[in-house]
């Protein structure tokens, strides 16, 4: 059984955007895959430490292997990265990640997410638990929160060895159905 854990955007939950649609589509097309949508506690005022602790309880390190995949949207991408950098078990690898509307910097961060912008990410640790090419990133060329998509693409490719796709004119990727997310996840799960 392959397991996918999806973490919503800031203040989001399973009812928002494309999350339930993705879960239904993936589970309908592959009976050997289970998708769980996880909303961290206090997601309107998110703490990195609280979020990582919560995710470690929801996705225990002992359960990790190459059949476990993480999907994040916006702040959920940050949560996936922070969780991955805290997998402190030698030799453990996950199947990969699909990060949607991912960011390292926000143009005008609000106070609730400021620590996520200021606290550096240990990319080396993340590369230890992923294989090259197993991190897929989808960003838009007109995201209002992160307009410098070219720099973001370059940094993700350099720091994570990620495959980054720029989707034209898609803002913060909040539609109800995003075929590119489904496609990237299905390819990753089949590899």
Span 15-36, pLDDT tens digits: 999 999 999 999 999 899 999 9
Expressed as residue numbers, the domain containing 155 is 2-190
Does residue 64 have a pLDDT over 90?
A: yes
Q: What is the CATH number of the domain that holds 27?
A: 3.40.50.1820
Report the 10 Å Cβ neighbour count for 108.
6
Query: pLDDT value at position 132?
Result: 87
Of the pLDDT bands very low, low, confident and very high (cuts 50, 70, 90), residue 141 is very high
3-class DSSP assignment, residue 4: strand
CA dist 118 and 132 (Å) reads: 26
User: Residue 5 phi/psi, 5° resolution?
Assistant: -115, 125
3-class DSSP assignment, residue 184: helix
Q: What is the mean pLDDT of residues 92-105?
A: 97
Report the 10 Å Cβ neighbour count for 4.
23
Token pair of 112, please?
């609730």
Does residue 142 have a pLDDT over 80?
A: yes
Cα 178 to Cα 15, 43, 73, distances in angstroms: 15, 23, 12
Token pair of 73, please?
């949207």
Residue owning tokens 């392959």: 2
Span 35-61, pLDDT tens digits: 999 999 999 999 999 999 999 999 999
Domains of the chain: total? 1
């Amino acid at each position: 059984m392959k397991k996918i854990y999806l973490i919503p955007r800031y203040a989001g939950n399973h009812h928002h955007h494309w999350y339930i649609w993705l879960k239904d589509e993936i589970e309908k097309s592959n009976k050997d895959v289970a998708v769980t949508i996880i909303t961290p506690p206090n997601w309107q005022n998110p703490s990195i430490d609280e979020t990582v602790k919560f995710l470690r309880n929801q996705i225990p390190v002992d359960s990790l292997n190459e059949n476990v995949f993480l999907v994040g949207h916006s702040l959920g991408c940050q949560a996936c990265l922070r969780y991955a950098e805290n997998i402190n078990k030698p030799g453990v690898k996950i199947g990969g990640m699909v990060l949607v509307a991912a960011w390292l910097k926000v143009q005008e961060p609000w106070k609730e997410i400021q620590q996520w912008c200021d606290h550096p990410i240990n990319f080396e640790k993340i590369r230890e638990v992923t294989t090259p090419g197993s991190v897929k990133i989808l960003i838009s060329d007109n995201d209002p929160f992160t307009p410098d998509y070219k720099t973001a693409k370059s940094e993700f490719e350099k720091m994570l060895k990620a495959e980054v796709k720029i989707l034209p004119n898609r803002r913060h990727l909040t539609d109800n159905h995003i075929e590119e997310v489904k496609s990237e996840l299905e390819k990753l799960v089949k590899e």
